């Protein structure tokens, strides 16, 4: 039985872990990020990977920083055959990568060398890509720069957001990993070096990027909304207050109104953006309120906004 140190944190990692268990890989340990305080009540919350590990009575390690930690040495001393990572969230020291007998393997949510970094799925949406995919790659010290073992592409649908893509890609990643591992283990896999001229980076989303401004086109704004749903959510400043937009669609019609104005507020809530483009807001969250569909918004707070009125702060 091939032994594995599994490393992952969010929901994306869970199907990968479950797939390894189901296919009789010996999981010696699960390494995940520390539990975090979540929500207004700051409730201590376990990572999805930890919850899955505990369900199978697997040892769990949660170092704040892996490098130099006692936990790292404990895991090294397990002398596993493989390290498998899926959205773990920390750099892995070379000493750790080299500690396993066969290979350190990463399940990455993009078609490398495009979108190295921590937010590949989000950037595929931000940039309006037609497709994304999974890369099974060899882990090296340099971020996401290892040789490619295998890849599989999927189409990005118009109604996809980060949440739906994470779910789809976690299943693709699980299946592609299980297809690829036997050839890694027996040494028959053919590795493909990444083309350095085609490298694109996808750093973690910043607070500044969460804001939608009317100088964007409607398509650019909608792509950002999709990329930040379900977390942390994109927002615009509406009359000086944060106004989150969870779902929208680009209107077919254009407008002569300057960016940031109400185009329509009957049956829909449409806002003008750059180049005469228009965005229909479908699900919103005014400051201090819960998420609501646009009908409920227009029946309440939204009823005061008149067509032609400039309401979105630049």
Annotated binding-site positions for (6S)-5,6,7,8-tetrahydrofolate? 110-113
Side-chain half-sphere CA neighbours of 131 within 13 A: 9
Binding-site residues from annotation: 110-113
For residue 97, give the H/E element and its range: helix 94-97
Q: Residue 314 and residue 311: Cα distance in Å, rounded?
A: 9
Q: Residue 177 and residue 151: Cα distance in Å, rounded?
A: 10
Q: What number of residues does the chain have? A: 314
Degrees (nearest 5) of the Cα angle 21, 26, 29? 95
DSSP 310: B
Tokens encoding 171: 């299943």
Tokens encoding 232: 């942390």
Side-chain half-sphere CA neighbours of 205 within 13 A: 22
3-state secondary structure of 90: coil
Q: Residue 284 and residue 287: Cα distance in Å, rounded?
A: 10
3-state secondary structure of 120: helix
- Maximum alpha-carbon separation in the chain: 68
Rounded to the nearest 10 degrees, the angle between the axes of helix 13-22 and helix 162-186 is 40
Q: Residue 14 and residue 67: Cα distance in Å, rounded?
A: 24
Q: Residue 174 and residue 164: Cα distance in Å, rounded?
A: 16
């Amino acid at each position: 039985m091939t032994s594995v140190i599994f490393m992952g944190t969010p929901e994306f990692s869970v199907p990968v872990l479950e797939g390894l268990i189901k296919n009789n890989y010996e999981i010696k340990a699960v390494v995940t990020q520390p539990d975090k305080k979540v929500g207004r009540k700051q409730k201590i919350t376990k990572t999805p990977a930890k919850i899955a590990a505990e369900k199978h009575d697997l040892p769990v390690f949660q170092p704040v920083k892996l490098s130099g930690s006692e936990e790292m040495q404990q895991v090294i001393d397990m002398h596993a055959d493989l390290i498998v990572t899926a959205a773990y969230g920390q750099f892995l020291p070379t000493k750790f990568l080299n500690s396993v007998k066969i290979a350190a393997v990463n399940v990455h949510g993009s078609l490398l060398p495009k979108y190295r970094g921590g937010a590949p799925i989000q950037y595929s949406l931000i940039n309006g890509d037609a497709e994304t995919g999974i890369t099974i790659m060899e882990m090296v010290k340099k971020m996401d720069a290892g040789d490619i073992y295998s890849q599989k592409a999927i189409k990005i649908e118009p109604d996809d957001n980060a949440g739906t893509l994470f779910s789809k890609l976690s299943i693709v990643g699980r299946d592609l990993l299980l297809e690829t591992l036997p050839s890694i283990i027996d040494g028959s896999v053919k590795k493909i070096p990444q083309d350095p001229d085609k490298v694109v980076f996808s750093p973690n989303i910043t607070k500044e990027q969460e804001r939608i401004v009317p100088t964007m086109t409607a398509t650019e704004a909608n792509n950002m909304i999709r990329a930040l749903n379900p977390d942390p959510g994109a927002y615009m400043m509406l009359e000086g207050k944060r106004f989150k937009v969870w779902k929208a669609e680009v209107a077919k019609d254009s407008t002569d109104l300057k960016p940031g104005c109400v185009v329509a507020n009957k049956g829909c809530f449409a806002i003008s953006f750059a180049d005469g483009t228009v965005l229909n807001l479908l699900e919103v969250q005014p400051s201090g309120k819960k998420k609501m569909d646009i009908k409920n918004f227009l029946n309440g707070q939204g009823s005061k906004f008149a067509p032609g009125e400039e309401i979105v702060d630049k």
